[in-house]
Structure 1
Amino acid sequence: MIALHDSIYPQLEAGDRIVYLGNYFGHGTEATRTIDEILTFRRNVLAMPGWMPSDIAYLRGGQEEMWEKLVQLQFAPNPREVLEWMLDHGLSATLESYGMNPTHGLVSTREGAMSITRWTAGVRAAIRRHRGHDMFITHLRRAAFIPPQVMELAATGTHGGMGGAYARPMNDHAAPMLFVHAGLNPNRPLQDQGDALWWGGRSFDAIHTPYDPFEKVIRGFDPNQGGLHINGVTATLDGGCGFGGALVCAGFDRYGELFSLIES
């Protein structure tokens, strides 16, 4: 990620936009270092003249959605089954990166709600020990879009799907683009997507025409691990990072056409 940030940084200008596509956690032991790098890059970008905090957006990925459910585990009707599933799908490595023992969580599920509450409180405390991480997690967005007045953008993927984008305002026509984490149900409006944004990867494959009012939909994670795929109306920027593959950065021009592709 550092290499990709180093490649993008010199190209950024005031008025650009940056979007990350989720899955900053999971399937690796570098979760805390990943968030640290994201926050460091954010500070460096915001230090440049003309940049505002609203110019950078971070989407919630499936891993972050699981993390949100984890800290509310005591309210689950079947907490042990829920925790076992999440641990098997990447959360175990994330907990370890924050200095937490996943086994202690499993033990707490046998002891009841009070024990689970104490354990999840420890998870929250572990996050707070890393400066800025708790605020980062609470400010994640469900989706982001580039309206017609935007010119250029680039997107990146990590851990099976974190993405970033930069965009420049323009006066002539541009292709409006929608950014999601993993899935999109083409038969539902954006406000009714619900969990499809995280778990609807198969529905994403059914998009063969523009998802109105957008001309291209870009995601950062493919649950089927099908690799990079870009066509006229969709783009999947998942190089398999976290599963032995590459971290990907792709650039799109104002018409939604690919102009740059970086793998690290």
Structure 2
Amino acid sequence: MSFLGALLRGRKPLEARIKRLTYAVGDIHGRLDLMEKMLQKIKSDAALSQERPLIVFLGDYVDRGPHSKGVLDGILALQNAEWCDVEFLMGNHEEILLKFLNDPSAGLSWSDHGGAATLASYGISLPHLRSDPLAWNETRDEFARALPDSHRQLMAQMKMLVIVDDYLFVHAGVRPNTPLDDQGAETFLWIRTPFLTVDKACKYVVVHGHTPEEAPTNTRWRIGLDTGAYATSVLTAVRLKDNTRTIFQVM
């Protein structure tokens, strides 16, 4: 395919390469409907290549949207799918959920940042008096009973990052010009400005979510896939193979 032809098809031939057919999916945030549409789109596309693909989910499966429980059920089922392999990265919203289970005092802040929708998806109501610490203890205990062990284990075992050939997949980003071994959850799950404002943060092309944008970012060294699905009803992914990229969206 010519360079012009590749651009017209939404692809960017680059030096960075990835041998295996790989898809990365941006922040889902409880939008089970969009996740199901995206998986169908990916499955149909992968079938054309007759190759078993790798799908990397970039975190933030829960909160804000209406079906956090259903999303976790769906990705658990995907672990046993015969047509693909999957990697599930942790997002900052999964980290906060797990923190709430260990520390009920985190409940008020979590509920203000989307956690109320997650609780509702498990049939749990917010405390009537949200400033009451004892009420949050009771809510935490109720949530802990409603949360399947499989969901808790899934989130606890999620990876912080995955590297495949010339690409690094992570929820939020990486700290520029800092060895990856010297970084941790605070960076991988939360970083924004220091990462987003540099042209090249590390030797890999970084594929990430976390920071919502009206349109996906697709530059030489960074691919940002969070298009605010819970609010915009647009879920974004990228298809990577050899030295080409293709942006996928469903709505």
For Structure 1 versus Structure 2, the TM-score category normalised by the shorter chain is: 0.7 to 0.9
- RMSD, aligned CA: 2.4
1:183 maps to 173
Contact in 2 for aligned 1:183/1:203 (Cα 8 Å): no
1:151 maps to none
Partner Cα distance (1:247, 1:259) in 2: 14
Partner Cα distance (1:107, 1:205) in 2: 36
Among 202, 206, 211, the residue aligned to 1:222: 211
2:113 maps to 89
What is the TM-score when the length of structure 1 is the normalising length? 0.72
Post-superposition Cα deviations, 1:181-225, rounded to whole Å, max 9, x if no partner, equal 11321132222222111111212212312512x2x10102215x4
Partner Cα distance (2:113, 2:136) in 1: 20
1:234 paired with 2:222, answer yes
Contact in 2 for aligned 1:100/1:123 (Cα 8 Å): yes
What is the total number of aligned residue pairs between the two structures? 213
User: Per chain length, whose mean CA-contact separation is higher, i.e. which structure has more relative contact order (CA < 8 Å, sep 6+)?
Assistant: 2
Contact in 2 for aligned 1:4/1:262 (Cα 8 Å): yes
Tell me the CA shift for residue 245 of structure 1.
3.7
Tell me the CA shift for residue 20 of structure 1.
0.6
2:147 partner letter: I
Identity of matched residues, %: 24
Among 2, 10, 16, the residue aligned to 2:53: 16
Q: Which has the higher strand share?
A: 2
Query: What 5-or-longer segments of structure 2 have no aligned partner?
Result: 1-34
Partner Cα distance (1:260, 1:240) in 2: 15
1:127 partner letter: L
Post-superposition Cα deviations, 1:37-66, rounded to whole Å, max 9, x if no partner, equal 2223332x2x35xx6xxx421000111011
1:124 paired with 2:113, answer no
Distance verdict in 2 for CA 1:116–1:262, change over 3 Å: closer
Query: What 5-or-longer segments of structure 1 have no aligned partner?
Result: 148-175
1:42 paired with 2:32, answer no
Tell me the CA shift for residue 18 of structure 1.
2.0
Matches within 5 A, 1:97-116: 97-103=121-127, 106=130, 109=133, 111=134
Partner Cα distance (2:182, 2:129) in 1: 33
What is the TM-score when the length of structure 2 is the normalising length? 0.75
